[in-house]
Amino acid sequence: MAESLRPNEISQDDLSKAEAEQRLEQLAQLIQKYDEAYHTKDAPLVTDADYDRLRRENERLEDLFPDLVRQDSPSQRVGGELAEGFSKISHAVPMLSLDNAFYDKDVEDFIGKVRRFLRYDPLMGALAITAEPKIDGLSLAVRYEKRKLVHAVTRGDGSTGENVTANALTIADIPKELPEGVPEVVEVRGEVYMSHADFTGLNERMVANGGKAFANPRNAAAGSLRQLNSKITESRPLKFFAYAWGEMSEMSADTQMGMVEAFAKWGFVVNPLMKRCESAQDLLAVYHGIEEDRADLGYDIDGVVYKVDRLDLQERLGFVSRSPRWAIAHKFPAERAFTTLNEIEIQVGRTGALTPVAKLEPVTVGGVVVSNATLHNEDYIKGIGQNGEPIRGGKDLRAGDTVIIQRAGDVIPQIVDVDLDKRDEEACAFEFPKVCPACGSHAVREKNPASGRMDAVRRCTGGLICPAQAVEKLKHFVSRNAFDIDGLGEKQVEAFFELSLEEGGVHTPADIFTLRERDKASLVKLRSREGWGAVSARKLFDAIDARRQIDLNRLIFGLGIRHVGEGNAKLLARAYGSWGAFQTAMRAAHEEGSEAFKELNDIDGIGSAVAIALVEFFSEPHNLEVLDKLLSEITPNDFIVADTSGSPVAGKTLVFTGSLERMSRDEAKARAEALGAKVSGSVSKKTDMVIAGPKAGSKLTKAQSLGISVISEDDWFDLTKDL
């Protein structure tokens, strides 16, 4: 099967930093919403293929703008919130998800990246990679101790899952006891799914008994496994494919294929279509073969997973963010559909960005009903691209238009074209508002100081007087990757914001922590309000008190400073260690030429845009007032690094320069950070050691002039070989 046309890659010239920041904010919010629908409610609103395409867009933007990585970024988390009603079990080894490929070229790029990271010379022989269908079901980890099944746990949020042991015991494909000779501790991971035939039969029975039919087999499987009554699960025709592992007291093979073959010997069902390949061409042949036979498999898949076969190479490759470097999921293509653009709605975000959203006549695309589409900015509506070039042939978008939507790259899909032959002659061009719809303040397009161009994003100038921005900042403050206050979600934040302080309102972060005391003094108690009771009110107050001590990186992220996402918040927390040191440095960095500003800008991964945003935030008196009130209620914890006792480089700042010959730069950096070192991109007085390879240039010269210790790559290996 021929590969579909590959769209143009996003480049830094195509996108301003402000546009990237706005898009990353949209992506984080949308993916979190769909994570909850998929993982927690077992009611996905989009297909896995389209969801993963959104993650791909997010990852591309983060690659282009690493200083914009948010703490709530999809790249920083796995899965969704845990369902109520089940006890929780922590995974001994996190259950991570995979990066994605959508085109044949992506697979070649994946193999190239693996080879470069490992410095895998072709003379070393073929790089074996396995290929297997990606089952569209619910991930499950099944743990055995001394051959007996002790518990079964869903993926959950990647770190902790729901205990569904009683339900897993009803699935025939999951052995209750393993044969003699297996390791003492075995954790097998796989996918719970439902065949097409069983799904059809189940829905027929559900409808016949007056129940509601499931939307698709994945939904049926997830809903069946997560029943509080295991008798219901037992009545559902669930199946299980084993394909991975978690904690093992000892390995039964030294390859991916060997481990899966061991699973089969132990009584698990493994996918017979799994193959071992030695080239990109072989992998793509398997992919396109499975794609052509997809309709005849009898169960749902949404792509093919590739994994480096040798386990020692997997260990060397390690992980980046939420996914392994040694595996990737090659997804099947998305679909398109025609529908009507009913209206264009303007939404105001946390940073004041006015974001247009197309409200569509609902249409089914790939089994999912779509009613919204992203419109990015006002130029996009006019048919103008990032550099002034025409998009959609220069055709603008108007209410009433017949449009073509594509669910690829966006959870809220894109409009890729408009049918002018069907446009009403009286349809008017959309007039983008020059004032904020939430507060009436001027909405302006600022000039980007770096490029000299006008930003594509129009922003409200109202700041904290804009209710939309204030509410969104509070939502961000209590979000999962910030303060994560149980019981204080988006709807609750909106409701509290509408109240006066005397009524128990919340207008600033500090107001959250005074809520209990103000409730005691109020004539109208929270417990008496609609939707609340004595128990729920007490739980909320207790949840708030539980966050009076907060990790430093969570506090920094929760402040909602532009360009400071989760990744940058962690970098800052690691660099400064404590809130006192961080705040002092930020206030001292008020001038770009100051020593404090240079130190901030020299943190590896922190660019000038982030540094300027931090300085601006800490230069605003109102922000300092809000911070002082907040800090009178909470205590930030110092940043704690992993135990690196015995490491000769723990706490030291290292710089790698020149051409490394025994390892790639990425592998060197990952190794150094694992040993507790900080890796910087530039040499300064704070640098402790420089590792210099051949052709080292100005960094080596500067290190020598400053009297900094310089060692070779071989010296680096000798220094760390026993750790």
- List the catalytic residues: 134
Sign of CA dihedral 45, 405, 15, 614: negative
Amino acid at 571: L
H or E element in which residue 416 lies: strand 414-418
DSSP string, 40-86: ISS--SS-HHHHHHHHHHHHHHHHH-GGG--TT-GGG--S-PPPTTS
As to burial, measured by CB atoms within 10 angstroms (0-12 exposed, 13-18 middle, 19+ buried), residue 310 is middle
- What's the CA gap between 272 and 434, in Å, rounded? 60
* Bridge pairing between strands 160-162 and 88-90: antiparallel
Among candidates 390, 396, 403, which has minimal Cα distance to 338? 403
Amino acid at 432: F
Contact 345, 356 (CB under 8 A): yes
As to burial, measured by CB atoms within 10 angstroms (0-12 exposed, 13-18 middle, 19+ buried), residue 87 is exposed
Look up residue 641 and give its two tokens: 């690094």
Read off the DSSP letter of residue 447. B
117, 552, 587, 634 from 621: Cα distances, Å: 47, 22, 11, 20
Contact 40, 362 (CB under 8 A): no
What strands lie across the sheet with 327-331, from one edge to the other?
99-101, 327-331, 301-308, 129-135, 275-277
Contact 115, 317 (CB under 8 A): no
Look up residue 324 and give its two tokens: 């392994």
- What's the CA gap between 429 and 344, in Å, rounded? 11
Interacting residues of 710 by C-beta distance below 8 A, sequence separation 6+ = 689, 690, 691, 692, 700, 703, 704
- The gap from C-alpha 375 to its chain's centroid, in whole angstroms, comes to 22
Helix axes 104-118, 280-293, angle to 10 degrees: 140
Interacting residues of 696 by C-beta distance below 8 A, sequence separation 6+ = 657, 658
- What's the CA gap between 110 and 320, in Å, rounded? 14
Q: Which residue is it, tokens 């001027």?
A: 442
The dihedral region occupied by 663, where left means phi > 0, alpha psi between -120 and 50, and beta the remainder, is beta
- What's the CA gap between 61 and 58, in Å, rounded? 5
- The gap from C-alpha 17 to its chain's centroid, in whole angstroms, comes to 19
Q: End-to-end distance of the chain based on CA atoms, in angstroms?
A: 48
